[in-house]
Amino acid sequence: MNAQYSEKVMDHFMNPRNVGEIPDADGVGSVGNPVCGDIMKMYIKVKDGVIEDAKFKTFGCGAAIATSSMATELIKGKTIDEALKLTNAAVAEALGGLPRVKMHCSVLAEEAVQMAIDDYLKKTTGKGLEIKHHEHEEAHKC
Ligand code: FES
């Protein structure tokens, strides 16, 4: 369909994994890109410090859908600490790369994971993360 996207990106866009909600989620994170208006919502289920399940809903571009799909795949089975290390670059790499102009879309996936974990930590420990949002100019460009 589009030569600038890898096969993996197209696969995760056309057949996204883990779409939906987790009604009794332990953490829910919601992020939006103010420039394009795209929104991503991430749900996680945690047991003994391990992410047992993750689901997402993304109202956004193809790259945002593909990166949220891949992000849920990558964090499932990981500990909270491991999942916190997931970067947007790692998500993009797992997808076989993204066009440069679409890298900012992967930032939403990284931030949605962090927000869901932040919510989980606030609920369980009363203290969330000190979230540093991406400040580089690429983050909120569409
Ligand atoms: S996240 Fe807005 S264009 Fe991709």
Q: 60 CA distance to ligand 1 centroid (A)?
A: 6
34: containing domain: 7-125
Q: Is 48 within the bounds of a domain?
A: yes
Q: Is 130 within the bounds of a domain?
A: no
> In which region does residue 18 sit, left (phi positive, over 0), alpha (psi from -120 to 50) or beta (all else)?
left
Residue 36 — φ and ψ, nearest 5°?
A: -95, -15
Can you tell me which atom of ligand 1 is nearest the CA of 63?
4
Q: 23 CA distance to ligand 1 centroid (A)?
A: 26
Contact 105, 32 (CB under 8 A): no
Number of domains, the chain: 1
Q: Is 70 within the bounds of a domain?
A: yes
Residues catalogued as catalytic? 36, 105
Q: Is 142 within the bounds of a domain?
A: no
Cβ contacts of 109 within 8 Å, gap of 6 or more: 40, 64, 67, 68, 70, 71, 88, 91
CA 1 remoteness from chain centre: 24
The whole model's pTM is what?
A: 0.92
- Give the per-residue pLDDT at 4: 86
Rg, Å, the chain Cα set? 14
Q: Is 131 within the bounds of a domain?
A: no
Rounded Cα gap, residues 53 and 39, in angstroms: 20
Atom 4 of ligand 1, nearest CA residue: 105
- Give the per-residue pLDDT at 131: 73
Q: Is 2 within the bounds of a domain?
A: no
Rounded Cα gap, residues 124 and 103, in angstroms: 33
Q: Is 136 within the bounds of a domain?
A: no
Q: 61 CA distance to ligand 1 centroid (A)?
A: 5
Q: What is the CATH number of the domain that holds 91?
A: 3.90.1010.10
pLDDT tens digits for 9-19? 999 999 999 99
pLDDT tens digits for 119-133? 999 999 999 998 766
Q: Which of 69, 104, 107, 141 to mutate to test the pocket of ligand 1 (most atoms within 8 A of CB)?
A: 104
How many beta carbons lie within 10 A of that of residue 54, not counting itself? 28
Q: Is 64 within the bounds of a domain?
A: yes
